[in-house]
Structures are given as C-alpha cells and as structure tokens.
Amino acid sequence: GPQGWSWGTAAIEGAGIPQDLLTMMTAKLARLGPRQRELLLTAAVIGTHFELSTLEALVGTKVLAEALVPLIDEGLIAPLGGGRHGFTHDRIREVAYHMVPLERRVELHRAIGELRLARVGMGELAENVFEVVDHIDLGYGLIPLPDEDQAAATARCEEALAGLSNDERDGIAELNSLAGVKALTGSSVAAAGRYLAAGVRLIAGDRPFPRPRETNHTLRFALELGL
C-alpha cells in the first residue's frame, strides 16, 4: 500500500541521472500524496507506456481513481488513448523507477509479467512475448535490474528458481525460447542469445543436460550449440 513505499535519492546515485533533473523530480515527488507516489512509481516499473488495466490490477481501483488526474495535472504522465498512458519524458520514468526499492521492483516485475501472460491468448502471445518475458526475467533475476550487478542477480535468480516447480521453470523457458526465436527473426542476435541462454538455464539448472523427457526443441538446440 501507499504507506509501504520508501523513496529517496540514495537508490539512484549510480544511475547517471543529471542532478538538476533529480532535484526537480525529488521536489515534485515531495509535493505528491502517498497514493500519487505509489501510482507513479508502480507505473514506472511497468514501463514508459502502460495500460491502465495493468496499473489498476497492481494498485487497486481506489488508488487509480484518486491519483491519476493529479499526476496528469503535474505534467508527469499523459493519456495516449486506447486505455494507455505514458510518462511525458523517458527521464521522468527513469528517476521514478530507480526510486522504487529493489525488492519491491522485483515483486512488481513478476506480477506485471504474470498479469500480462494471463491476459494474452496463445494467438497473441507471439506478438506480445517481449512485454511478458522481459518482466518475468527481471523478476526472477534471469537478467539483472538496471542498477543491480550480475553477481547479485545470479544469487537472486538461484534463490527464486529453487522455489519453482519443474513445470513452472519449463513455462518460463518456453517464453524465453519464443522470445529468442522472435528476436532472431528480427535480427536482434544479442537479445536472442540472452533469451535462449535464459531458457537453457531454466531447463538445465545446475545439470549439464536437461531432464530426460520432452523439452523445447529450440532450447535443446541451443544447449547443443553450447549457449
């Protein structure tokens, strides 16, 4: 809830935010009520553009109803049409994102990924897979948060994956496989490698080979290539 938020500049010292922008944003946030801060910071974790339906699912109808218009009036976010809103500047979103405590960001990234996955049909998944899998991977430490070093992300990932069933791990692996193939078709080789490597990590774990049963063929191929 809004009382559970802590925020401040300490979390973003290493983010490379210009001091004048940081000062302006801190002043703006100080003028906001707790519900408005909660809405703004939650929206920042969703992304530069966000769906109101996702935001409402995360913060609740009351917070959304009370806080949305004041944030628009402050010039921080703006309606884009089609049930979507966005930050008026990428840097505003960046500052707000880094003001969210890391543990809360992890929770939100997982929740956002799971919400989006639940809402898209199988026919739509291929089209929207990046919007789903990027949040899930951030939430489970398969990729580090922007201000998190790789060692910390790896430790977080190991702990998170230990709590998943084999089916849950395979489900996330399938998503990464789908994203990897889509990235390859778009000539995003680096991104494809990251997604496929995440999928391999999920189905192989600490073992040199995946479990001896039917697994995703793309991930098997990636394993054989030594990704």
What domains sit in the chain, N to C, each tagged with a CATH number?
A: 2-98 (1.10.10), 106-225 (no CATH)
CA-to-CA distance for 4 and 116, rounded, in angstroms?
Answer: 24
% of residues, the chain, pLDDT over 90:
52
DSSP 3-state of 217:
helix
Q: b/e string for 14-41 if b means 16 or more Cβ within 10 A?
A: eeebeeeebeebeebbeebeebbbbbbb
- 145-202 residue pLDDT tens: 988 989 999 999 999 998 998 889 989 999 998 999 899 888 888 898 999 989 888 8
pLDDT tens digit string along 20-32?
877 877 788 788 8
Picking from 178, 227, 175, the residue whose alpha carbon sits closest to that of residue 201 is 227
Q: Where are the alpha helices (H) located in 120-216, listed in sequence order?
A: 122-139, 150-162, 166-185, 189-204
Q: How far, in whole angstroms, is CA 29 from its chain's centroid?
A: 22
Q: What is the pLDDT of residue 85?
A: 97
What's the whole-number mean pLDDT along residues 11-36?
A: 77
The answer to whether the beta carbons of residues 54 and 84 sit under 8 Å apart is no
Average pLDDT of the chain, as a whole number: 85
**In the beta sheet, which residues pair with residue 81?**
84
Please tell me which residue, 34 or 227, carries the higher pLDDT value.
34
Q: In what order do the strands lie in the sheet with 84-87?
A: 49-51, 84-87, 77-81
- Using CA atoms of 47, 50, 54, 56 in order, give the dihedral in degrees to the nearest 10: 110
